[in-house]
């Protein structure tokens, strides 16, 4: 026969401290999704200027590259900041405040990463298929990111009271 946990242990799982620990775990899981994308894009952008054909792209594309590179690096800094700050600030004295600031940094990092994805799409597609196709592809990725990262969660939260 399976034994059940005593009621008091179940009640302990709903305490604010345990809830905050769950939020930290969620935050770490979310960063495990975002960081590799930022790292891969940044790595790609770091090696791009060292390719022979890079010097032949037009000035506008070089400016798009620069903006993409700065956004990708910014996303890495912002997305990794909470982990580094958490390590330096241990033990945390104000967990709720730390979580709020970390959430803001993660959202800012995701925003920078989203813009970097859009510009990287524009850069690649423009080089392969031309400027107009690059703009269309960048716009399509922008719509996808805004729809899936922002509008869908807001809709679900409103519709389902989440």
Do residues 34 and 110 touch, judged by C-beta distance below 8 A? yes
Q: Of 68, 33, 32, 30, nearest to 49 (Cα)?
A: 68
As given in the structure block, the two tokens for residue 162 are 């989440």
Find the Cα–Cα–Cα–Cα dihedral 94, 96, 97, 102, rounded to 10°. 120
Q: What is the pLDDT of residues 100-128, one digit of tens each?
A: 999 999 999 999 999 999 999 999 999 99
Q: Of 156, 92, 86, 143, nearest to 114 (Cα)?
A: 143
pLDDT values of the chain reduced to their tens digit, one per residue, 162 residues: 444 444 444 444 444 555 556 677 787 788 888 899 899 999 999 999 998 888 888 899 999 999 999 999 999 999 999 888 888 888 888 888 989 999 999 999 999 999 999 999 999 999 999 999 999 999 999 999 999 999 999 999 998 876
Do the domain assignments include residue 133? Answer: yes
How many domains, in total, are found in the chain? Answer: 1
Do the domain assignments include residue 125? Answer: yes
Domain that holds residue 66: 24-48+57-160
Query: 72 burial class (0-12, 13-18, 19+ CB within 10 angstroms)?
Result: buried
CA–CA gap between residue 153 and residue 149 (Å, rounded): 7
Do the domain assignments include residue 12? Answer: no
Q: What is the pLDDT of residues 30-39, one digit of tens each?
A: 888 889 989 9
């Amino acid at each position: 026969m399976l034994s059940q946990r005593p009621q008091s242990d179940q009640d302990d799982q709903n305490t604010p401290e345990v809830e905050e620990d769950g939020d930290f775990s969620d935050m770490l899981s979310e960063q495990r999704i975002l960081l590799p994308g930022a790292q891969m894009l940044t790595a790609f952008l770091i090696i791009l200027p060292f390719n022979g054909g890079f010097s032949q792209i037009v000035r506008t594309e070089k400016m798009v590259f620069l903006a993409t590179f700065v956004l990708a690096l910014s996303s890495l800094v912002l997305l990794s900041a909470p982990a580094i700050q958490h390590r330096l600030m241990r033990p945390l004295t104000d967990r709720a405040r730390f979580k709020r600031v970390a959430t803001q940094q993660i959202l800012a990092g995701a925003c920078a990463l989203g813009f970097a994805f859009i510009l990287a799409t524009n850069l690649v597609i423009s080089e392969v298929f031309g400027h107009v196709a690059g703009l269309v592809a960048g716009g399509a990725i922008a719509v996808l990111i805004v729809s899936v990262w922002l509008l869908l969660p807001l809709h679900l939260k409103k519709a389902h009271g989440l």
